[in-house]
C-alpha cells in the first residue's frame, strides 16, 4: 500500500461486443470464475483473488475499457484523495452503493489522458476455494491459463508528463520505469506502481482514452509457455509469442479477446520497493525494452488499441 492509502489495482470493466462469447473466452481460455451477472454485465475473478470480482465484462457496441478501479484502505483515506483530486482539477462524481453487484460507493473521475478511474473501499469478500486455513497451493478444477490475479493494465495518452504527475503527486504512485525521447525532452512511456510490483499501471504515448492491454499474473516462464499452448489449442489470435520484457524484466505472451481487447499472461518482474530508483529507457531502444529478444516492436503493438 502506498502512502496515500491505495492498496492495489482492484478491478477493470471492459466493454465487449458479444457478452456470451466473451464469457466463454474469459472462463475457459483465461480461466476466470463467474461470480455474478446482471442484464448487461458479467463479473469474474481469478482463483487466487479474495474479493468478489476483478474483471467486469460490459455488453457494448464498442470495445475498450470503461474504467479502472483502485481499492483504498478506508473512507478516511478516500476522502483525502477525493479532495486532492479536486484540487488537481479533475471532476469527480459519486457512484452509489449497489450500482454494480457486490460493490460499495466509489469515487469516479477522468484523468488527463481521458480515461475513467474509480477509487473505492468496499467490495464483497468471497474468499478462495483453497481456504485460508492450512490451504493447498491451488484448488482442483482450474481451467485454461488460470492466472493468479489481475496484475496491471497499460493505457495510451498524449500528455504523459501530466498523467505521471497526477499519479505520483496526487495518488502517491511511484514511477518504476520511464521511456524518454533521445533528446530527453519528451516522456513516451511511464510505468507506475502503488505496491511493490514492477507496475500496476502503465502509459505509452498514443491517442487519448485508448486501452492497450490487461495483464494477468501467472507463476513463471513455464506458465507463460503453457498459456501460449492453450491459446494455440483454442485458435486464439496471438500477437507476440512468449518472450521477455526488458522493461520490468517480466516474461510475456500477448493475445486478443473476441472483441479485440489485448490480454497478456505476465510472469516474474522485479520488486519495486520505496527506495527503488526509476529506470530510464531511451526511445531508440524501445524495441529492446518491450521485446527484449527480438529487439523491435511488432507493427500491431502500437496500432491495435480499443
Active site residues: 152, 199, 213, 245, 254, 264
Residues in contact with 132: Cβ distance below 8 Å, sequence separation at least 6, in sequence order? none
Query: Residue 82: in which H helix or E strand, if any?
Result: helix 75-88
Q: Name the one residue in this structure whose C-alpha cell is 460499495.
A: 104
Q: Do 170 and 88 meet the contact criterion of CB atoms below 8 Å apart?
A: yes
- Phi and psi of 104, rounded to 5°? -85, -165
CA distance 205 to 183: 16
Q: Do 204 and 188 meet the contact criterion of CB atoms below 8 Å apart?
A: yes
Work out whether strand 6-16 and strand 174-180 pair parallel, antiparallel, or are unpaired. unpaired
Q: 9: burial class by Cβ within 10 Å (0-12, 13-18, 19+)?
A: buried
Amino acid at each position: 500500500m502506498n502512502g496515500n492509502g491505495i492498496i492495489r489495482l482492484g478491478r477493470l470493466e471492459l466493454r465487449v461486443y458479444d457478452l456470451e462469447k466473451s464469457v466463454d473466452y474469459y472462463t475457459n481460455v483465461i480461466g476466470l470464475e463467474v461470480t455474478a451477472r446482471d442484464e448487461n454485465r458479467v463479473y469474474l475473478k481469478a482463483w487466487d483473488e479474495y474479493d468478489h470480482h476483478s474483471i467486469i465484462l460490459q455488453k457494448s457496441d464498442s470495445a475498450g475499457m470503461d474504467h479502472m478501479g483502485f481499492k483504498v484502505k478506508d473512507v478516511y483515506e478516500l476522502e483525502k484523495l477525493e479532495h486532492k483530486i479536486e484540487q488537481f482539477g479533475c471532476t469527480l462524481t459519486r457512484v452509489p452503493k449497489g450500482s454494480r453487484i457486490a460493490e460499495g460507493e466509489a469515487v469516479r473521475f477522468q484523468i488527463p489522458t481521458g480515461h475513467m478511474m474509480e477509487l473505492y473501499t468496499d467490495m464483497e469478500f468471497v474468499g478462495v476455494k483453497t481456504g485460508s486455513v492450512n490451504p493447498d497451493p491451488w484448488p482442483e478444477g482450474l481451467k485454461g491459463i488460470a492466472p493468479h490475479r489481475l496484475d496491471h493494465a497499460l493505457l495510451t495518452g498524449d500528455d504523459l508528463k501530466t498523467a505521471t504527475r497526477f499519479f505520483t503527486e496526487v495518488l502517491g504512485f511511484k514511477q518504476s520505469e520511464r521511456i524518454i525521447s533521445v533528446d530527453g525532452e519528451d516522456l513516451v512511456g511511464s510505468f507506475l506502481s502503488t505496491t511493490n510490483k514492477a507496475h500496476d499501471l502503465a502509459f505509452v504515448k498514443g491517442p487519448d482514452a485508448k486501452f492497450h492491454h490487461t495483464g494477468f499474473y501467472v507463476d513463471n516462464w513455464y506458465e507463460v509457455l503453457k498459456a501460449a499452448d492453450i491459446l494455440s489449442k483454442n485458435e486464439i489470435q496471438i500477437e507476440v509469442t512468449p518472450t521477455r520484457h526488458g522493461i520490468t524484466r517480466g516474461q510475456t505472451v500477448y493475445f486478443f479477446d473476441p472483441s479485440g481487447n489485448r490480454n497478456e499472461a505476465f510472469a516474474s518482474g522485479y520488486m519495486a520497493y520505496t527506495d527503488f530508483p526509476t529506470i530510464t529507457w531511451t526511445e531508440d531502444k524501445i524495441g529492446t525494452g518491450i521485446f527484449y529478444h527480438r529487439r523491435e516492436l511488432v507493427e500491431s503493438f502500437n496500432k491495435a488499441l480499443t
